[in-house]
Structure 1
Amino acid sequence: MKIYHLFYITSLLINTACLEDRSFEIPFLKQQGLLIPDDQIVTIPALKMAWEQESNQELYPFLRLTQGYEDKFLEGYVISDDQQGNYYKAFFIQDDPESPQAGIKVLLDQTDISQRYDVGRRVLIQLSGLTVGLSSGVFALGLEDGGALSPVPTTHNGGVVQRDTLVSPISARTLNMENLGPQHTNMWIELSHTQFHRFQSLSLPPMTFAADAMDQYDGERWLEQCASGQYLVLKTSTYADFNTAVLPSDDFTIYGILQYDYFGEYFVLVINGPDDIVMGNSGRCDPLVLDCGPAPGLHPIVWGESFNQRENLSALMDSGWWAPDTNSEALLWSIGSYGGNKYLQITAEASDIALHESWLISPPLSKSVLGEILSIECDIQANFQRGIPLSFWITEQDPQDYSIDVQWDLLNYFIPNGPSDGFGDFKTMGPIDISCKTGETFYLGLRYKQRSVFDTTRYHIDNLRIRSP
């Protein structure tokens, strides 16, 4: 019995000692990533600064990365995703996943790039032999070829892009449209309380992202932010998987990469896919319009202006039309013609100021002459569409009476959309019921007002007419 007790006690002490030996802290495991010395890493802001300082922006807007870049690597985090076909042989990286200062477009002769370089992935790009410059207006990395940047072959220098094991969540930079600038291009941004313009998302049928008849290579749709009323183009490739999806009609928050259009002229936003549009619940923020209900049937024309009898704008003014003074001395309205047909024409391409505003107001129109039940129509051709600066108004006050503050009502209409790179087709706008205006005399007003310097859409307006039973 004593031997047994001694053996039991000895075993207990040994087991206790073993348990004490197993007591240890679990080490914190951290991804190390690619181990490249800090002095071999170049940041995107540093590379952009070197390009700005060393390149001749007018004569040769490129910087060839040769001497001094033999062992240098560009560091960045992927923010683009080409899985849904909205990017082709290019991907975008920014210098930090949370607080970026700069981004860059990387031209790579490869498709399905995101299968290897997914969003949030840290990448290191061997810079030796490459060139930085502009591609469609944004800072880009590629190979200089005949005065332009071209994609880098995947076999160049044995492969220039190194895929890290580090993946970080990408935080969008929250911005407002009125504050967007070149410094925000190539970065992942967020725009809240945004909607598609009512002429595109509430039309019948509503427009798609990039599958309408006027869409050739890209679809351009007009975003507007409720807080500022500013516009921004959403650009979608006609090859994107979601090109046939219908534009959402309500408000949303949208995430994407700020870029320029193909020619580098105006800002566009590009999304990775439909999931980058997160629907909200604040409702639309469209302007108030004069809503007299559905227009009456197709009745006889009781007043009209076809412009065919007007030799020029002066002749139109002599017939009672009037153009009040606005913020520009240039009167951009004119009488255009094509194929023997004349029409009213307006565009801000020749404007002498940044944000042009111009009105053209009809002669006084009398209900006692025209009738009590009235509707308005006209034919509109939208060309080289850059924004939607044209609007139609009505008032019962004399616009030439400077002793009063004339109150205008916005008519309830849908202006047809047109292509961004050519001439559209004439389409009828209306009929628009105006019977709920009770005054004896009224005036029609056409306003062309730019919200940005890129609002230069050219409109042809023809066959303005009023119908009544």
Structure 2
Amino acid sequence: MKTIKLTHVFAAIFALLTITSCVQDDDFSTPDLTATDPVLDGEVISVSALRNLFLQEGETVDLTESTQYVEGFVISSDESGNWFEEIIIQDNATAPTAGVRILIDESPLFTYYEIGRKIFVKLGGLHLGESNGVLTLGVTNNLEKIPAPLQFDYLQRSATVETILPVETTISNLSEDLENIFIKLTDVQFAKEEVIDQSLTYAGEPLDEFDGERTIFSCATEQTLILSTSTFANFKSIALPTGRGSISGVLTRNFFGEDFNLAINDRNDVVFDQVERCDPVEIDCGVADAAGSTILFEDFFETQATNSPISGNGWTNYQQEGSETWEAYSSGGQNASLGISARVGSFQSGDDATIAWLITPMLDLQANTGETLQFMTSNSFSDGSTLDLLFSSDWDGTEATIATATWDVLPAGVIVDDGDFFGDWIDSGIVDLSCIESNGYVAFRYSGSGDADFDGTFELDEIQINAN
């Protein structure tokens, strides 16, 4: 019995020594979290220089033979689960000019690459290109993730940790230059349909399969942007705040690389410190069964001079921002006009912002009954640009007061959507105006910019306002 017990003791001691030896020799031990400035064996370049290299090539760049490193500051964190196996770095902690995404087959990453940490990335062995629409570093021409065992061969931390100051901007000023940059949108709120008409969570709804997409609404310009939240985020089931304030996050794109999205690091990036919202007032009389026989106003634009601004017939054609205005045009083919039609767009305009108004003459609604509005719209890749149908009873008819007058939304009018086929003309339906008790003006307001994501074109025709 004693012999057996001693044998077990010696076996246990041997096993313990063996395990201890294995742990000491393990190549994949937990990394030392202390940081010192590394000694690099190559030239260090900025993220901006890296981006310029891609822009010059115009396609995926093979960096396999490079001896350079790129340096930058971490601006993303997977601590809350909203990022996965990737980190985003930008060239400066303040006033950045470029950013890049780095794919790493490892999670979590925030314990080693925390926000504000300056890191160096070895470019040799990597490829640089676009993935999901944004500038990305990865391995192979397909921009795959850096294997976990190799991450410390490619990424090295410095001892520097800075506070990241977001770039304050507006939705209308978003551009490719701000991709992979930590930005801040001020005076924004979530769309009324998502937090007032219903109470949506960040990404916890039954239809949120991979990401929850919620609409950020700008109180200043009334433009919108999608906030994308992973269904793995630990705050996914928290209700969106109903107030108004600022949202900070990384400007990225949707999965298909088509549209700008904003991605936050955690719920604290949403700071809504105002209770009062800025929802546009709506005048919704619904849709009428039929239009009356009395014509109050109409224009099919057939007497307009093509390639010239819309004029005459009581129209006010006003450029609030930018260089573009409503003009007459005629075209055939798949994207044919309806004879002569009106259109507006900001394609290749170079405008930081484009706001163009087309306003009817004053409508005498008090002297009539059963008023209705009808029109047709089409678009050419409208993207993030918008066309709004508005009504004002307090505008004084002068261009100087258009921007300061009260313009209420007429939500019953159907306006072409970016997802509609560009060759189709969409009927507005018979918009009922009979619940409006004052005289006023109907306006078509275009909002966009010269950026490729906001430079779409809208076409308009066959406007009829009738009464009984």
Name the TM tier (shorter chain).
0.5 to 0.7
Measure, in 2, the Cα distance between the counterparts of 1:184 and 1:296: 41
**CA spacing shift, 1:96–1:310, aligned 2, 3 Å:** closer
**CA spacing shift, 1:189–1:51, aligned 2, 3 Å:** closer
Contact 1:250–1:279 (Cα < 8 Å) also in 2: yes
The residue number in structure 2 matching 1:64 is: 63
Question: Normalization by structure 1: what TM-score?
Answer: 0.62
Q: Residue 104 of structure 2: SS of its match in structure 1?
A: strand
Identity %: 20
Q: 1:427 offset after TM fit, Å?
A: 8.2
Measure, in 2, the Cα distance between the counterparts of 1:150 and 1:313: 58
The residue number in structure 1 matching 2:19 is: none
Contact 2:169–2:183 (Cα < 8 Å) also in 1: no
**CA spacing shift, 1:416–1:161, aligned 2, 3 Å:** farther
Contact 1:304–1:465 (Cα < 8 Å) also in 2: no
Deviation per CA, 1:159-199: give whole Å up to 9, x if none. Answer: 534578x695743335232776655543333333333455x
Matched, 1:393 2:391: yes
Contact 2:134–2:252 (Cα < 8 Å) also in 1: yes
Structure 2 residue aligned with 1:194, among 188, 206, 221? 188
Structure 2 residue aligned with 1:154, among 148, 159, 167? 148
Q: Which runs of 5+ in 1 are unaligned?
A: 1-30
Give 1:43-442 correspondences, 5 Å limit: 46-48=45-47, 50-51=49-50, 57-58=56-57, 60=59, 62=61, 64=63, 66-69=65-68, 74-82=70-78, 86-94=82-90, 103-110=99-106, 112-114=108-110, 117-120=113-116, 123-136=119-132, 138-145=134-141, 149-156=143-150, 160-161=154-155, 168=161, 170-177=163-170, 184-196=178-190, 201=194, 204-205=197-198, 219=213, 221-224=215-218, 226=220, 229=221, 231=223, 233-237=225-229, 239=231, 241=233, 247-260=240-253, 267-281=260-274, 283-285=276-278, 295=285, 301-302=291-292, 322=315, 324=317, 328=324, 331=327, 348=345, 354=351, 356-362=354-360, 365-367=363-365, 370-371=368-369, 385-394=383-392, 409-414=406-411, 435-437=436-438, 439=439, 442=440
Measure, in 1, the Cα distance between the counterparts of 2:367 and 2:437: 16
Q: 1:206 offset after TM fit, Å?
A: 6.7
Q: 1:85 offset after TM fit, Å?
A: 5.0
| Letter paired with 1:195 | Q
Deviation per CA, 1:325-368: give whole Å up to 9, x if none. Answer: 75547626789999xxx898856265767455554455765447
**CA spacing shift, 1:451–1:237, aligned 2, 3 Å:** same
Contact 1:195–1:252 (Cα < 8 Å) also in 2: yes
Q: Residue 189 of structure 2: SS of its match in structure 1?
A: strand
Larger Rg: 1
Q: 1:103 offset after TM fit, Å?
A: 3.7
Please say which of residues 46-55 and 459-468 is displaced more in the overlay.
459-468
Contact 2:73–2:91 (Cα < 8 Å) also in 1: yes
**CA spacing shift, 1:420–1:311, aligned 2, 3 Å:** closer
| Letter paired with 1:57 | Q
Measure, in 2, the Cα distance between the counterparts of 1:221 and 1:447: 20
Q: 1:269 offset after TM fit, Å?
A: 2.6
Deviation per CA, 1:227-266: give whole Å up to 9, x if none. Answer: xx38462341564546676653321221211335567677
Please say which of residues 188-197 and 390-399 is displaced more in the overlay.
390-399
Measure, in 1, the Cα distance between the counterparts of 2:176 and 2:313: 46
Q: Residue 280 of structure 1: SS of its match in structure 2?
A: strand
| Letter paired with 2:47 | K
**CA spacing shift, 1:201–1:346, aligned 2, 3 Å:** farther
* Root mean square deviation of aligned Cα: 5.7
Contact 1:394–1:444 (Cα < 8 Å) also in 2: yes
Please say which of residues 247-256 and 125-134 is displaced more in the overlay.
125-134
Q: 1:62 offset after TM fit, Å?
A: 2.4
Q: Residue 247 of structure 2: SS of its match in structure 1?
A: strand
Q: 1:280 offset after TM fit, Å?
A: 0.8
Q: Which runs of 5+ in 2 are unaligned?
A: 1-31
Contact 2:348–2:455 (Cα < 8 Å) also in 1: no
Q: Residue 218 of structure 2: SS of its match in structure 1?
A: strand
What number of residue pairs does the alignment pair up? 418
Q: Residue 56 of structure 2: SS of its match in structure 1?
A: coil
Q: Residue 57 of structure 1: SS of its match in structure 2?
A: helix
Please say which of residues 317-326 and 276-285 is displaced more in the overlay.
317-326
Measure, in 2, the Cα distance between the counterparts of 1:466 and 1:443: 11
Contact 2:291–2:430 (Cα < 8 Å) also in 1: no
Please say which of residues 151-160 and 415-424 is displaced more in the overlay.
415-424
| Letter paired with 1:92 | I
Contact 1:375–1:435 (Cα < 8 Å) also in 2: no
Measure, in 2, the Cα distance between the counterparts of 1:334 and 1:220: 38
**CA spacing shift, 1:102–1:393, aligned 2, 3 Å:** same
Measure, in 2, the Cα distance between the counterparts of 1:332 and 1:207: 42
Deviation per CA, 1:29-76: give whole Å up to 9, x if none. Answer: xx9934454444765xx243553676671455626152434xx5x555
Q: Residue 125 of structure 2: SS of its match in structure 1?
A: coil
Structure 2 residue aligned with 1:447, among 445, 448, 456? 445
Contact 1:412–1:432 (Cα < 8 Å) also in 2: no
**CA spacing shift, 1:417–1:214, aligned 2, 3 Å:** farther
Q: 1:276 offset after TM fit, Å?
A: 1.6
